[in-house]
């Protein structure tokens, strides 16, 4: 497999040797954004800009091997991982933009219709070959779609892995290429055919961060990149990240009632507020009462942690609530819920291999969410397994995390990063 790596080197001054160099490792998805930024950065910073482009997974490997750099621009998940390990300075991180997945074809090829899941399936079946980056951000999305459509074996046989799907299509290595839309638009010999249909489209957020102790130039670069205007972001095939409608309130802007609620939260939970409690703080009494309910339902309910977390994640899945899902996925795994069960739930499939207790709770919660009631048979099984206290606490957990999901979805609170599966809208 031929490696595809692009390098951008911009000398800002005539006497290049006398100027410091800012070294950036960037995902291919953000290459055009950086090309757009470069001239403005040249005027603002008396330094040279040296940028290496590759897929995010490859860049992570280069960093792990000790490659020198000042700034990394990659998927937000990898940026978070590197910040947690101390390789990147968490305080320097800024989200840049998000990209959806699209299909690339050769300019002389007939454009397939992939406007719906059915037409996408047809295009995949009739294609002679497809390509995507095996370790890229798109890979997980595509494999999930193949599994959903029952095409995993067929598509594995047709797949030609490449370092750049758009370039592979341009070189006629494969008929259809799938990658971030922003990676297709400026590749000569490749045509952007269409985005994935809405019901399976997944957006990847890209972020930037600097190494600890980075220069002022690194900070300036990240700030300018994150401040790219909407027109430019759209021009390069990306989208602005939806704004948080009810973001954290600055400490000096809190009312006395809000400060009291924040302190009560800290005393009760031993930590600062986060997630849904940021928007809920607009109603400090509601936030305090919500926190108190959660103190019981999360930590003291009749269900053991394994089953409680299972119910929480069923609720997060119903509401396509990524923050809630990311927060509780690792907790559920640690508590003993099997990953393959949770991954099936994430994909909207009924899991196989559930325990008897998990099966009863799955049926109970599924009926409660979809039928707005519980049948006599399901109720009887739940009552026998958990007693009246367990049944009522199950309802309470479902209702509590439904309220939190409604709050998070309305506020558009950004999801945290945990490496858990990405939730796509459910098909009804």
- Structural domains of the chain sorted by starting position, each given as residue range(s) with its CATH number in brackets: 6-97+205-235 (3.40.190.10), 101-195 (3.40.190.10), 251-411 (1.20.1290.10)
- The pLDDT of residue 342: 95
Q: Which two tokens stand for residue 19?
A: 């100027």
% of the chain at pLDDT higher than 90: 74
> Is the pLDDT reported for residue 2 higher than 50?
no
Residue 20 reports pLDDT greater than 90: no
Of 105, 123, 103, 104, the closest CA to residue 113 belongs to 123
- Closest to 92 in 3D by CA, of 214, 227, 244, 250: 214
For residues 35, 39, 42 and 48, what is the CA-based torsion angle, rounded to 10 degrees?
Answer: 30
CA distance 415 to 326: 7
Q: Tell me what the pLDDT averaged over the chain comes to.
A: 91
Q: What band does 423 get if pLDDT is binned at 50, 70 and 90?
A: confident
Distances (CA, A) of 397 to 42, 294, 312, 347: 54, 8, 7, 22
Which secondary structure element, helix H or strand E, spans residue 101, and what is its range? strand 101-105
Range 255-276 average pLDDT:
95
pLDDT: is 249 or 313 the higher one? 313
By DSSP bridging, strand 176-180 and strand 204-210 are unpaired
Residue 12's pLDDT is: 39
Phi and psi (nearest 5°) for 127? -65, 140
The secondary structure of 213-254 as a DSSP string is T--HHHHHHHHHHHT--HHHHHHTT-BPPPP-SSPPPPGGG-
pLDDT digit string, tens, across residues 148-160: 899 999 999 999 9
Residue 419 — pLDDT band, cuts 50, 70, 90? Answer: low
pLDDT higher than 80, residue 426: no
- Give the position of tokens 């709770």: 361
Three-state secondary structure call for residue 105: strand
If one counts every other C-beta atom within 10 angstroms of the C-beta of residue 145, the result is 25
Strand partners, 7: 52
Structure tokens at 29: 């998805």
pLDDT at 383: 98
The closest of 295, 216, 236, 314 to 36, measured between CA atoms, is: 236
Task: Tell me what pLDDT residue 1 has.
Answer: 42
For 188-231, what is each residue's pLDDT tens digit?
Answer: 999 999 999 988 888 888 999 999 998 999 999 999 999 999 99
C-alpha distances out from residue 268 to 279, 295, 299, 339, Å: 19, 8, 12, 31
Residue spans of alpha helices (H) in 17-136: 31-44, 56-64, 76-84, 117-126
Condensed to tens digits (0 to 9), the pLDDT of residues 103-138 reads 999 999 999 999 999 999 999 999 999 999 988 778
Nearest to 71 by CA among 189, 199, 179, 214: 214
Of 265, 331, 326, 262, which is closest to residue 295 (Cα–Cα)? 265
pLDDT band at residue 43 under the 50/70/90 scheme: confident
Higher per-residue pLDDT: 159 or 421:
159
Please determine, for residue 55, whether its predicted confidence score (pLDDT) is greater than 60.
yes
CA 334-295-362 angle, to 5 degrees, is 55
Six token digits for residue 379: 């109720």
Asked whether the beta carbons of 81 and 54 are under 8 A apart, the reply is no
Give residue 172's region: left, alpha or beta (phi > 0; psi -120 to 50).
Answer: left
Half-sphere CA count of 414, side-chain side, radius 13 A: 19
Better-scored residue on pLDDT, 130 or 84: 130
Q: Is the pLDDT of residue 280 over 90?
A: yes
């Amino acid at each position: 497999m031929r490696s595809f790596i692009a390098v951008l080197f911009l000398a800002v001054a005539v006497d290049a040797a006398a100027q410091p160099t800012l070294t950036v490792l960037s995902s291919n998805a953000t290459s055009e954004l950086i090309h757009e930024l470069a001239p403005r950065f040249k005027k603002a910073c008396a330094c040279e800009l040296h940028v290496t482009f590759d897929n995010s997974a490859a860049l992570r490997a280069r960093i792990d091997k000790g490659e020198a750099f000042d700034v990394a621009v990659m998927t937000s998940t990898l940026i978070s991982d590197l910040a947690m390990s101390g390789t990147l300075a968490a305080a320097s991180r800024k989200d840049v933009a998000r990209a959806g997945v699209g299909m690339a074809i050769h300019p002389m090829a007939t454009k397939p219709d992939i406007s719906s899941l059915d037409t996408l399936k047809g295009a995949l079946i009739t294609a002679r070959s497809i390509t995507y980056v095996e370790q890229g951000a798109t890979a997980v999305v595509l494999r999930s779609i193949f599994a959903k459509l029952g095409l995993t074996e067929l598509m594995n046989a047709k797949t030609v892995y490449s370092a750049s799907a758009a370039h592979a299509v341009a070189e006629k290595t494969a008929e259809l290429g799938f990658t971030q839309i922003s990676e297709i638009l400026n590749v000569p010999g490749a045509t952007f055919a269409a985005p994935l249909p809405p019901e399976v489209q997944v957006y990847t957020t890209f972020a930037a961060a600097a190494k600890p102790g980075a220069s002022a130039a690194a900070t300036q670069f990240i700030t300018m990149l994150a401040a790219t205007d909407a027109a430019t972001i759209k021009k390069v095939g990306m989208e602005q990240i939806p704004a948080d409608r009810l973001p954290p309130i600055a400490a000096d802007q809190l009312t006395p009632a809000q400060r009291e609620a924040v302190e009560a939260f800290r005393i009760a939970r031993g930590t600062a507020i986060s997630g849904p409690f940021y928007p809920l703080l607009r109603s400090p009494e509601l936030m305090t009462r919500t926190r108190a309910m959660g103190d019981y339902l999360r930590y003291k309910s009749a269900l053991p942690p394994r089953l409680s977390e299972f119910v929480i994640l069923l609720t997060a899945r119903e509401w396509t609530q990524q923050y809630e899902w990311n927060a509780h996925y690792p907790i559920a795994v640690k508590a003993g819920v099997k990953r393959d069960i949770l991954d099936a739930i994430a994909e909207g499939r009924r899991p196989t291999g559930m325990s008897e207790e998990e099966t009863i709770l799955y049926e109970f919660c599924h009926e409660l969410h979809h039928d707005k009631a519980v049948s006599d048979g399901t109720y009887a099984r739940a009552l026998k397994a958990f007693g009246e206290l367990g049944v009522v606490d199950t309802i309470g957990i479902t209702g509590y995390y439904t309220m939190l999901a409604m709050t998070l979805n309305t506020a558009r609170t950004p999801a945290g990063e945990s490496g858990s599966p990405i939730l796509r809208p459910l098909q009804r």
